[in-house]
Structure 1
Amino acid sequence: MSRIDWYIRANLKLRHLELLVALDDLRNVGKVASYLNVSQPAISKTLATIEEGVEVPLFDRTPRGLEPTEHGICLIRHARRVLEQMVAARDELLDITEGRVTRVSLGVLPAAAVLLVPKFIAMLEEKSNEVSASVTESHTDILLRMLRAGDIDLMVGNLPQRALGAEFESELLYRDPIVVVARHDHPLTKASPLQWEMLNDYPMVLPTQAAHTHHAIADALLQRNVRISRRSVESISTLTNVGVLQETDSTGFLSQAVARHFEKLGLLSILPLDLGNVDIEIGLIWMTDRGLSKAQQLVRTLFRETRDAMRTKAGH
């Protein structure tokens, strides 16, 4: 074990992290001493002890005051995160102790943001007055980083095709086939019979190339003698895709559940063209080593119930 690893594990305390954050905020030993109600020599001695422990300088002493070094910026950033998590832990413990509402933080991918998550929240409000949800929508890489950092408790949406590694656990909720869509008054909605080659006459809205569905859709189109238009738009934002489809002659590709939702609203039509075995897997991801609180277990259960209710309503 390296010295820095030993020091961080065995000797770095919360009060040290509070000191580093205060020094970064105030940039003056005298102001920090007054703020923390300790002497200036004590501040200087503690900072020197921390720098000795991590074996690198954390602040440069300049005529303008203290300036964090690159190492200092790194450690301060993590110190802020640790302190924020401790405040969140304190608040959650108080909520549990005093019977207040427990909040579960969800990281949501676009595939789940329009239909699954709103239906889940409606069910959560119906079945529990002790748990509430906060929602952050983003893409996979950012949400996985947030999950590692503890900024979210669960990730909801299309499961990545690549292996996630032992640090993550996942649960598949359902598979959702990809369908071809266009605005409700698109010329192709009146074509009879509709042929695949007719798509060649129109622009397309596709997932970005980073999404595994992009390549699956492209392969399916190639097999059906359909070329991807040079005028295609690439986006993983469901609302952007629906907006583009509304305003242009483009055809697009959405999950069936989401497409049916917008079809019922009269905004889109699902074209009678079968892409074959092109689908997305919708599920949950969480950290293996953290376990799940009772609130998080309830959330998982209600996601399953939401899935079952959606299947029943769809007649599956």
Structure 2
Amino acid sequence: MELLDGRLKLRHLVLAVAIEEHGSLLRAAEHLRLAQPAVTRSLRELEGILGVELFVRGPRGATPTLFGTAFTEHARSVLAELRRAGERISGLADGAVGTVTVGTLVAGSNVLLPRAVAALKAARPGITVVVQEATFDAQVPRLLDGEVDLVLGRLNPIDDQPALRQITLYREPVLLVARPGHPVRSRPGLTLADLLDHPWVVPLRQTALRQELEQVFHDAGLPLPGNLVECSSALTVRTLVRDTDMIAALPELVARTDGEIAPLPVALEPVRRTVGVTLPDRRPLTPSARLMLDHLREQAAELTGPRDDPPA
């Protein structure tokens, strides 16, 4: 099948992605500001070019077929590359406008990222910053497809992802925290075992921090606390720790900069968080993404001081 014979147009790619994202021809037409008959004609034209049915139309909307899912994945990747090409050209012209999409992890950098975004916007008000939060496994396909420019947060192993590379920004300890008036604070010689009778909020099972916490308990000959909430939303964790007697493990920068929670005197020496950026190995960064990376490096250096020296 030859798609580069002039029949397949950019509007076909935009149309397919819009229908897949909005779930119906009517909502896609509204999003594209087109009349529904025009969307229907364009979809028929596209399916005629490809020789397959892309969407099953029904009373509840349009559902992508196997062919539709495959085509929209490629269409989304092509559109992302075209966006990046356009931004690269305009960025080379003046460096004043553009868009950078940052993927952040649900247990990610809620101290570093806001500071870097603020610094970037102060220097380049015309650059739009888009932040998308998800787990690392969900971010990788977006990063490879070009929907996300870079992923910021705790570095995850990428041995099985040769198309990715990583830059370490800083390393920090992970501390156990509780509210200032938590009853365990009155207990002398506090140990990890003393905390088992209290409720905990811990990261999800598939996260690296959860695995490391489980190893800490195992090495101490202790079971995991029986009263658990599994959560990796930093805002929810903070609220639970602040408003209840729950105990959590949080990065030092978060634990020491939040006046309504405070570290407990129980060390988690083996657990350290390595924060960094995951990038596509072969795709060059757009000017806006490179500026974002520069500000992340600068803010990381300011946050951690001389104890951590981010790589050049």
Which range, TM-score by smaller chain? 0.7 to 0.9
Query: Match for 1:70 among 56, 65, 72?
Result: 65
Query: Match for 1:257 among 238, 253, 260?
Result: 253
The structure-2 alpha-carbon separation of the partners of 1:169 and 1:269, relative to structure 1 and needing over 3 Å to count, comes to same
Q: 5+ residue gaps in structure 2?
A: 20-24, 30-35
- Compute the TM-score of the two structures, normalised by the length of structure 1: 0.77
Q: Secondary structure at the match of 2:282?
A: helix
Q: 5+ residue gaps in structure 1?
A: 37-42, 52-56
Greater C-alpha radius of gyration = 1
Measured in 1, the distance between the counterparts of 2:70 and 2:49 equals 15
Q: Secondary structure at the match of 2:143?
A: helix
Equivalence map 1:232-243=2 (5 Å): 232-243=228-239
Over aligned residue pairs, what C-alpha RMSD do you find?
3.7
Following TM superposition, by how much is the alpha carbon of 1:19 offset from its aligned partner in structure 2, in angstroms? 8.1
The structure-2 alpha-carbon separation of the partners of 1:272 and 1:100, relative to structure 1 and needing over 3 Å to count, comes to same
The structure-2 alpha-carbon separation of the partners of 1:86 and 1:226, relative to structure 1 and needing over 3 Å to count, comes to closer
Are the counterparts in 1 of residues 13 and 72 from structure 2 also a CA contact under 8 Å?
no
Following TM superposition, by how much is the alpha carbon of 1:306 offset from its aligned partner in structure 2, in angstroms? 0.5
Query: Match for 2:12 among 18, 34, 38?
Result: 18
Residue 287 of structure 1 aligns with which residue?
Answer: 280
Residue 39 of structure 1 aligns with which residue?
Answer: none
The structure-2 alpha-carbon separation of the partners of 1:58 and 1:124, relative to structure 1 and needing over 3 Å to count, comes to same
Q: Which amino acid aligns with 1:50?
A: L
Measured in 2, the distance between the counterparts of 1:61 and 1:116 equals 45
Query: Match for 2:107 among 111, 115, 118?
Result: 111
Are the counterparts in 2 of residues 147 and 155 from structure 1 also a CA contact under 8 Å?
yes
Are the counterparts in 1 of residues 55 and 65 from structure 2 also a CA contact under 8 Å?
no
Following TM superposition, by how much is the alpha carbon of 1:226 offset from its aligned partner in structure 2, in angstroms? 3.6
Q: Which amino acid aligns with 2:50?
A: I
Query: Match for 1:138 among 123, 134, 137?
Result: 134
Matched, 1:268 2:261: yes
Are the counterparts in 2 of residues 182 and 245 from structure 1 also a CA contact under 8 Å?
yes
- Which one is further off, 10-19 or 159-168? 10-19
- Which one is further off, 174-183 or 120-129? 120-129
Measured in 2, the distance between the counterparts of 1:240 and 1:219 equals 24
Q: Could you report, residue by residue, the CA deviation over 1:187-223 in whole angstroms, capped at 9, with x for unpaired residues?
A: 1222222223211221211111111221211221233
Residue 300 of structure 2 aligns with which residue?
Answer: 307
What fraction of aligned residue pairs are identical, expressed as a percent? 21
Residue 148 of structure 1 aligns with which residue?
Answer: 144
Q: Secondary structure at the match of 2:270?
A: coil
Q: Which amino acid aligns with 2:286?
A: S
Measured in 2, the distance between the counterparts of 1:164 and 1:287 equals 13
Residue 40 of structure 1 aligns with which residue?
Answer: none
Q: Secondary structure at the match of 1:260?
A: helix
Residue 173 of structure 1 aligns with which residue?
Answer: 169
Q: Structure 1 or 2: larger helix share?
A: 1
- Compute the TM-score of the two structures, normalised by the length of structure 2: 0.78
The structure-2 alpha-carbon separation of the partners of 1:12 and 1:168, relative to structure 1 and needing over 3 Å to count, comes to farther
Measured in 1, the distance between the counterparts of 2:75 and 2:240 equals 41
Residue 155 of structure 2 aligns with which residue?
Answer: 159
Equivalence map 1:32-71=2 (5 Å): 32=38, 48-51=48-51, 57-58=52-53, 70-71=65-66
Measured in 2, the distance between the counterparts of 1:152 and 1:108 equals 10
Q: Secondary structure at the match of 1:296?
A: helix
For CA contacts below 8 A with separation 6 or more, give which structure has more relative contact order: 2
